[in-house]
Amino acid sequence: MQDVLAMTYLWLKAGHIIFVIFWMAGLFMLPRYFVYHQEAPEGSPEAAEWANRERKLLKIILTPSIIAVWVFGLALAASLHAWDQGWLHAKLLLVLALSGYHGWLASYAKKLARGERPLEGRTLRMLNEVPGVAAAIIVVLVVVKPF
């Protein structure tokens, strides 16, 4: 029975890592798309194409990936019985924050599609760093388990 549980754990871990990579790639790409979208003339065919790309990125990569990340991640935590570990609490807090960031990006994509441009390109370029910083902290939490 231990062998089955060990193999299940490894498959859960592999699935989690795969979908984290997909999700992070999308979180890096979408703000960059926003920069290009905002640089396109308002109402132009180019702006419409960027809106279409943003919608596809959200629908095809980001949304399925965030769901898979949460499903695999919660299954991993359950298999490890890690609910009482401080590093997991900190990781979950950061993943919850990244999930909120993902939701904000989705809402900003809708604003851009409507022709609204509330943020400057510089701000969007800075926001592009959020997932990288969060990922670095999460990796340290998971590998080092400082608490």
Listed by start position, the domains of the chain span 2-144
Instruction: Please state the separation of Cα 147 from the chain's center in Å.
Output: 24
| List of residues 6+ apart from 15 with CB closer than 8 A | 68, 72
**Residue 51: closest CA among 25, 28, 30, 27:** 30
- Tokens for 41, please give them: 């003339």
Least confident of 63-72, 74-83, 88-97: 74-83
Q: What is the amino acid identity at position 42? A: E
Question: What is the per-residue pLDDT for 112?
Answer: 96
Question: Is 59 annotated as belonging to a binding site?
Answer: no
How deeply is 33 buried, as exposed, middle or buried, from its count of CB atoms within 10 A (0-12, 13-18, 19+)?
Answer: buried
Report angle CA 47, 48, 51 to the nearest 5 degrees: 90
Contacts of 62 (CB under 8 A, 6+ apart): 23, 26, 27, 30, 102, 105, 106
pTM of the model: 0.92
pLDDT at 2 over 70: no
Q: Is the pLDDT of residue 39 over 90?
A: yes
Q: Tell whether the model's pLDDT for residue 40 goes beyond 60.
A: yes
Exposed/middle/buried for residue 118 (C-beta within 10 Å: 0-12, 13-18, 19+): exposed
CA 15 – CA 42 distance, rounded (Å): 40
102 is in an annotated binding site: no
How confident is the prediction for the chain on average, in pLDDT?
95
